[in-house]
Amino acid sequence: MAYSLENPLDYSGDDGKPLVALFAAEADHDAAISDEPTVSVRRDAVARIRKAAEPPCSVGPSTAYLAVTYLDRFLTKRVTQVKKPWFAVFLSLTCLSLASKMLDHGFSVDEFQATQPFQFMPETIERMQLLVLETLGWRMRSITPFAFLDYFLSSFPSTDPRQVQDLKDRASKTLFQAQTEEILLGFKPSVIAASALHSAAFDLFPAQFPDFESVVSSSLGLDPVIDFVTFFLSLELLSGIR
């Protein structure tokens, strides 16, 4: 079964098992990064990955998002050589290449390297890909906040499919924009998804927001955390999204 950000698990049943598996999988979430050298490398690599969404590379937003997800998972487990000036370039190239293969999207290594100050031989790139794969335990079906959007949207008090889609589109845009922020790394994907939807509902549909907030927050039992992340997203991000 093909991988997607919204449907990361290799399961096509409709008996509720995928949802249970999603919450079980995110229980292992551990992507906090605190030491300054690693944070610096992350910022550099994330900037290069996001830049790849522009010409000449023009990778899709899903590819860039998954690449950053791989990057974060890698940096939480292995921080060697982070002071090398070429490391962020090498790591961003590797994660983009792996993400494009996972999503079956096109990505030109040559085009990416043409925009970078360092170039790497194909065999060197292959060795780095293997290192990342081994570090991630070959678990490439990353669980992201996008996987939880439909679950929380099912609680939105509206029968108008256009409203639900507008809410999902706004939350998705917030998620793509928010991924650059290190502060979100310590939160589980489900909490980030709920927070993005909270922010979107508050802005787009204030009349339905109280009921939606109550249902979503109580389902996670994490009201203070959701409130904090929502507050952060609203203040720091939505000004550039509306």
- Statement to judge: residues 112 and 153 lie in one domain: no
- Rounded distance between C-alpha atoms, residue 121 and residue 83, angstroms: 21
Same domain, 91 and 57: yes
List the domain range (segments joined by +) for residue 91.
28-135
pTM of the model: 0.90
| Residue 34 shares a structural domain with residue 131 | yes
Q: Does 127 share its domain with 150?
A: no
The Cα 83–Cα 34 span in angstroms is 15
Q: Which of 112, 135, 158 is the last residue of a domain?
A: 135
8 falls within a domain: no
pLDDT of 90 over the 80 cut:
yes
Q: Does residue 184 sit within a domain? A: yes
Q: Tokens representing 41?
A: 């490398």
Last residue of a domain, one of 135, 167, 199: 135
Which residue among 135, 159, 178 closes a domain? 135
- Percentage of the chain lying above the pLDDT 70 cut: 84
* pLDDT, tens digit (0-9, with 9 covering 90-100), for 136-175: 999 999 999 999 999 999 989 988 999 999 999 999 999 9
pLDDT (0 to 100) of residue 24: 85
Asked if omega into 56 is within 30° of 0 (cis), the reply is: yes
Write down the H helix ranges in the chain: 17-26, 36-51, 61-77, 87-103, 109-114, 122-135, 149-153, 161-178, 189-204, 209-220, 223-236
Provide the CATH number for the domain around residue 102.
1.10.472.10
CA distance 151 to 6: 10
Overall number of domains in the chain: 2
The number of angstroms, rounded, from the C-alpha of 173 to the middle of its chain's C-alpha atoms is 11
Q: Are 157 and 163 in contact (CB under 8 A)?
A: no
